[in-house]
Structure 1
């Protein structure tokens, strides 16, 4: 069984090609910009049998083409890594591409097996390059955990994308972008990095939960800021995409 927050058909921003995107319930972080804050609590969502989700994916398989497949996002999917192993195993049996969108906070026996044996791709969300900034954005300490998972993926030789939310005044400092590039510049498995422009689409969800949205004063990126960030990162990565 998997505890699911929501399911999106025909997703085009969560991995290669057209994808079925399954957002799982539960996350240990509370990112200030989270656009699915109702997925943070582990007690919410709806339980699905694994085979039920497999059959949903099979009905969509003809739309996936050569590149598409299933992406599991969240919340944080690796919280349910044990249940994801048989799910991804079944998808692989059916010839369906598998992808995990993760914050990288969980690297245990189950997540290692999932990443090493069944995940064709992972998209790793890099929150911040300093410990102080990481704590301020996520509410948790130790940014190195995500970097450990990235190193594990690199050592496995399997493909990885990076994702980075660009927030004016918080994460768009050129110094931070150069730190990001320098940290990962020698990685061979990183196919691309995706810049995620900051937006406020989740504010109404925060308000519905009775939570204060602390980035109300943050503005969205200008086109110039996005292009500047892209040009900096292009000096370190094979491909840079602005989502």
Structure 2
């Protein structure tokens, strides 16, 4: 088992999955780590918000699981994505898994809100090929309303650090009617993204209620139970705002 000093490096892993075209380029092994400091109103995975919802897992155990798919991932031009929850809630574990994947020759991606970006040391970022950066909102007050616990500035600071390093970024923005869809809020997110020269694309993700059953299973109310998905007109308007800044949008 890998150790740092005298303490073994273990993480809390909720689950893993194989996905295509959603969590980075190609077919990906996606590990969902448990634990997140945010409580986003639209979170579709409340079962990953607390570390206790995960399974204690050593770096070697997770890497052994990844190795089962190594050849397939390479042939499929994919790689490994660490998601969550929030991977930077467990920076030592995240760093070592990414490093081991890099040694295997696998493309690596980090899916993060950026709130805990200061926890990502240079060694962690050196082992990361792509950052999927979830910018919750561009207006600080809206960001706070969405996340209930977070602040926008750490994400912006982390994004600029990534850009200064020349690291590829895919920006993700969840479009929620009545919550994140205000034109001024969208414009602020677009401005942040356009100011980052290494942003390769923006993914506008329409809000959905597919996680409602998870809230029910945990005995929790789903905060946006009555919120509808965005209609086509709203989706086109928001995509257009990003495109007006010269950004490639998916």
Contact 1:11-1:21 within 8 A present in 2 as well: no
> Once the two structures are superposed, what CA deviation does each residue of 1:63-117 show, in whole Å capped at 9, x if it has no partner?
2236310000000000111112221111111100110100111133x51224431
Contact 1:85-1:113 within 8 A present in 2 as well: no
Q: CA deviation at 1:11?
A: 4.0
Determine whether 1:74 maps to 2:87. no
Contact 2:88-2:120 within 8 A present in 1 as well: yes
Contact 1:72-1:101 within 8 A present in 2 as well: yes
State the match for 1:200 in structure 2.
209
The correspondence for 2:183, drawn from 130, 155, 174, is 174
- Report which stretch shifted further, 45-54 or 157-166: 45-54
Query: Residues 13-162 of structure 1 correspond to what in structure 2 (within 5 A)?
Result: 13-64=22-73, 65=75, 67-108=77-118, 110-162=119-171
Determine whether 1:209 maps to 2:218. yes
TM-score, with normalisation over the residues of structure 1? Answer: 0.93
Contact 1:163-1:193 within 8 A present in 2 as well: yes
Q: CA deviation at 1:132?
A: 1.7
Q: Which consecutive residues of structure 2, in runs of 5 or more, have no partner in the other structure? A: 1-9
Q: CA deviation at 1:131?
A: 2.0
Q: In the aligned structure 1, how far is the partner of 2:237 from the partner of 2:54? A: 39
Q: Which consecutive residues of structure 1, in runs of 5 or more, have no partner in the other structure? A: none
Q: In the aligned structure 2, how far is the partner of 1:98 from the partner of 1:127? A: 23
Q: Secondary structure at the match of 1:27?
A: coil
TM-score, with normalisation over the residues of structure 2? Answer: 0.90
State the match for 2:243 in structure 1.
234
Q: CA deviation at 1:133?
A: 1.2
Q: In the aligned structure 2, how far is the partner of 1:122 from the partner of 1:89? A: 15
Q: CA deviation at 1:145?
A: 1.0
Q: In the aligned structure 2, how far is the partner of 1:194 from the partner of 1:46? A: 30
The correspondence for 1:187, drawn from 196, 199, 223, is 196
Q: Secondary structure at the match of 1:162?
A: strand
Q: In the aligned structure 2, how far is the partner of 1:114 from the partner of 1:5? A: 24
Q: CA deviation at 1:237?
A: 4.2
- Report which stretch shifted further, 36-45 or 228-237: 228-237
- Report which stretch shifted further, 13-22 or 167-176: 167-176
The alignment's C-alpha RMSD in Å is 1.6
